[in-house]
């Protein structure tokens, strides 16, 4: 079977999704998990875009050694040089150059002729070759470009040394049959095409990104660009987990394989959702909460008798724990460690000890601890690692007669204990005002939502918030059996991310 190269762009196109900003540490953590998942290429960012992006690409290039690390660049010298600089220490560096090719973009945006574009593309690929042999070129908006012009550009860039040519459906406009024909046309009409890998990059504006990608693979493309949970600009990108599992489940049809360790899919999906603050819809294929739950009696009966009756994928194959046994206050370190491993976590000894202590505290309050509780508590613990401000204590008084009042105590950046109190229109407002008095960063709360992790009155409540500051949106999350405490944790989490990003930019 031929192998498909999995190019993950969660940290570049995925992070371009409105409100999905990640800081350097979060990008590095995601990149390490993507390496565990087995992706071949990680597009780590767009170094010219900001100092933070440069730093993230640079750090990932230093620390994540097995996949190729790719940096994005426009077809201009400054971008290429900045990308080359960011990748200096990469084990396998790749520069990805993009340049619009459709007349719509040429006339209205770039105001350049086709000939000028062709020259720019050729020259910039030649320039990028100074930094690495591994060069990818994308004619942006390819699906709205006249195919004959794409053939010309591809021939020119391959001639200049491009080793991968990527065909982006930038605005999610194409449909499977048309896209398949475009890929066949490229393979047939570009004379030097065998010297490069043909890649595809589909957006989901018409809900067809995965279908289009799969059709392109059937027509000879051998690299697919995708993101975890399908996150990305506007309606998102093609979802990695759906493409990989389609290829695997229907190998009879595709006769293709990938390097992905599918057991890491669920864990990667949870991590990306956790860090970006984008929840996965319950009915999302492969990784949604309902993807493997059977409600109808007839289906349940079938699955009990033989899972294959209504399940085309064994949930264990994507890393969803087979064990539905709940843990409780009598469960020991060993049982907890085993369950963490089943859920795909590999914590350091120190992180494990902290997580176990929190597990024990939770078991005192909550009779049964499910897998979802464990995921939530580990995520909460990881959020508190290297915080700038840490929530130490909180006390709230509220009700329909009194004035909502909150007293908050934080541990500050130098380990100092700071405390203050405030009145508000409700308990959360009072807490946020008290925290604002202590931290003193201007921001606007733009989103607040609360949900319970499991059913039952003693469930953990998870709060997700978004705050805006200086035109950037920051996400914060907090979990606790007390939703007022969870709200405070979420706000501190958002402020810590805001402060970390500001520090990096400065």
DSSP 375-422: HHHHHHHHHTTT-SSEEEEEEEE--SSS--EEEEEEE-TTS-EEEEEE
Residue 170 within binding range of ligand KIV, rule CB under 6 A = yes
Q: Which is nearer to ligand KIV, 11 or 140 (CB)?
A: 140
Residue 167 within binding range of ligand KIV, rule CB under 6 A = no
Interface pattern 7-36 for ligand KIV (x via CB under 6 A): ------x-----------------------
Residue 168 within binding range of ligand KIV, rule CB under 6 A = yes
Q: Which is nearer to ligand KIV, 225 or 387 (CB)?
A: 225
Interface pattern 114-153 for Zn ion (x via CB under 5 A): ----------------------------------------
Per residue, the 3-state secondary structure of 110-142, as one string, reads: HCCCHHHHHHHHHHHHHHHCCCCCCEEEEEECH
Locate 296 and state its tokens.
């109808």
Which of these, 195, 260, 261, 272, lies nearest to 228 by C-alpha position? 272
143 binds, among Zn ion, ligand KIV, none (CB under 5 to 8 A by kind): none
Locate 502 and state its tokens.
């500001």
The pairs formed by 447-456 with CB atoms below 8 angstroms and a separation of 24 or more are 448/487, 450/483, 450/486, 450/487, 453/372, 453/373, 453/376, 453/479, 454/370, 454/372, 454/373
Residues 191-250 that bind ligand KIV (CB under 6 A): 201, 203
How far apart are CB 9 and ligand KIV at their closest, in Å? 7
138 binds, among ligand KIV, Zn ion, none (CB under 5 to 8 A by kind): ligand KIV
How far apart are CB 232 and ligand KIV at their closest, in Å? 8
Residue 74 within binding range of ligand KIV, rule CB under 6 A = no
| Rg for the chain, CA atoms, rounded | 25
Residue 179 within binding range of ligand KIV, rule CB under 6 A = no
How far apart are CB 149 and ligand KIV at their closest, in Å? 16
Site size toward ligand KIV (CB under 6 A) is: 8
Stated length of the chain: 506
Locate 404 and state its tokens.
């909502």
Strand 405-411 and strand 417-423: pairing? antiparallel
140 binds, among Zn ion, ligand KIV, none (CB under 5 to 8 A by kind): ligand KIV
How far apart are CB 238 and ligand KIV at their closest, in Å? 11
Residues 79-108 that bind ligand KIV (CB under 6 A): 98
3-state secondary structure of 238: coil
3-state secondary structure of 448: strand
Q: Which is nearer to ligand KIV, 21 or 493 (CB)?
A: 21
239 phi, psi to nearest 5 deg: -85, 125
How far apart are CB 153 and ligand KIV at their closest, in Å? 14
How far apart are CB 172 and ligand KIV at their closest, in Å? 9
Which CA distances in Å does 191 have to 32, 163, 282, 474? Answer: 38, 14, 46, 48
**413 within 8 A of 499, measured Cβ to Cβ:** no
* 170 Cβ contact partners less than 8 Å away, ≥ 6 residues apart: 140, 141, 142, 143, 201, 203
- Among 24, 138, 273, 481, indicate the residue that binds ligand KIV (CB under 6 A): 138
Q: Which is nearer to Zn ion, 176 or 230 (CB)?
A: 230
Q: Give the integer Cα–Cα distance in Å for 239 and 67.
A: 19
Neighbours of 253 (CB within 10 A): 11
**170 within 8 A of 145, measured Cβ to Cβ:** no
Site size toward Zn ion (CB under 5 A) is: 1
Residues 478-497 that bind ligand KIV (CB under 6 A): none
Residues 7-66 that bind Zn ion (CB under 5 A): 13
- Among 61, 80, 86, 140, indicate the residue that binds ligand KIV (CB under 6 A): 140
246 binds, among ligand KIV, Zn ion, none (CB under 5 to 8 A by kind): none
Q: Which residues pair with 45 in a beta bridge?
A: 71
How far apart are CB 226 and ligand KIV at their closest, in Å? 12
Residues that bind ligand KIV (CB under 6 A): 13, 98, 138, 140, 168, 170, 201, 203
Footprint of Zn ion (CB under 5 A): 13
């Amino acid at each position: 079977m031929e192998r498909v190269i999995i190019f993950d762009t969660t940290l570049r196109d995925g992070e371009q999704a409105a409100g999905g900003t990640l800081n350097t540490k979060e990008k590095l953590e995601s990149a390490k998990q993507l390496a565990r998942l087995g992706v071949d290429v990680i597009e780590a960012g767009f170094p010219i875009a900001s100092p933070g992006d440069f730093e993230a690409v640079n750090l990932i290039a230093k620390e994540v050694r097995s996949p190729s690390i790719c940096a994005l660049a426009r077809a201009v010298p400054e971008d290429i040089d900045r990308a080359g600089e960011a990748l200096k220490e990469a084990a396998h560096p790749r520069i990805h150059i993009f340049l619009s090719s459709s007349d719509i973009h040429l006339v209205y945006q770039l105001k350049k002729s086709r000939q000028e574009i062709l020259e720019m593309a050729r020259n910039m690929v030649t320039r990028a070759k100074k930094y690495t042999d591994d060069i990818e070129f994308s004619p942006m908006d390819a699906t709205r470009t006249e195919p004959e012009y794409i053939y010309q550009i591809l021939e020119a860039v391959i001639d200049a040394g491009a080793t991968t040519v990527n065909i982006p459906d930038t605005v999610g406009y194409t449909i499977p049959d048309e896209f398949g024909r475009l890929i066949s046309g490229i393979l047939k009409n570009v004379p030097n095409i065998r010297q490069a890998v043909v890649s595809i990059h589909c957006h989901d504006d018409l809900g067809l990104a995965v279908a289009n990608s799969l059709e392109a693979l059937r027509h000879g493309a051998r690299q697919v660009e995708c993101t975890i949970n399908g996150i990305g600009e506007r309606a998102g990108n093609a979802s990695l987990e759906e493409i990989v599992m389609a290829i695997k489940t229907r190998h009879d049809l595709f006769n293709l394989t990938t390097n992905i360790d599918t057991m890491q899919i669920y864990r990667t999906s949870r991590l990306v959702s956790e860090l970006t603050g984008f929840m996965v819809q319950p009915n999302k294929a492969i990784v949604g909460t309902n993807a493997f739950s059977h409600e109808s009696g007839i289906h349940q009966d079938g699955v009990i008798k033989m899972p294959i009756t209504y399940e085309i994928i064994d949930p264990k194959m994507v890393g969803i724990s087979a064990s539905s046994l709940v843990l409780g206050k009598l469960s020991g370190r060993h049982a907890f460690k085993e369950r963490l491993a089943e859920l795909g976590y590999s914590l350091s000894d120190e992180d494990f000890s902290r997580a176990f202590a929190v597990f024990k505290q939770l078991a005192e309050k909550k009779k049964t601890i499910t897998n979802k509780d464990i995921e939530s508590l580990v995520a909460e613990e990881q959020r508190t690692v290297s915080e700038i401000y840490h929530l130490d204590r909180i006390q709230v008084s509220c009700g329909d007669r009194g004035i909502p009042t909150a007293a908050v105590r934080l541990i500050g950046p130098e380990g100092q204990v700071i405390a203050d109190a405030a009145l508000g229109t409700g308990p959360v407002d009072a807490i946020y005002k008290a925290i604002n008095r202590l931290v003193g960063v201007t921001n606007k709360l733009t989103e607040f939502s609360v949900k319970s992790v499991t059913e039952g009155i003693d469930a953990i409540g998870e709060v997700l918030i978004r705050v805006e500051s200086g035109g950037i949106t920051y996400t914060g999350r907090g979990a606790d059996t007390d939703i007022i405490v969870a709200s405070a944790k979420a706000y501190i989490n958002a402020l810590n991310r805001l402060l970390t990003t500001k520090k990096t930019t400065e």
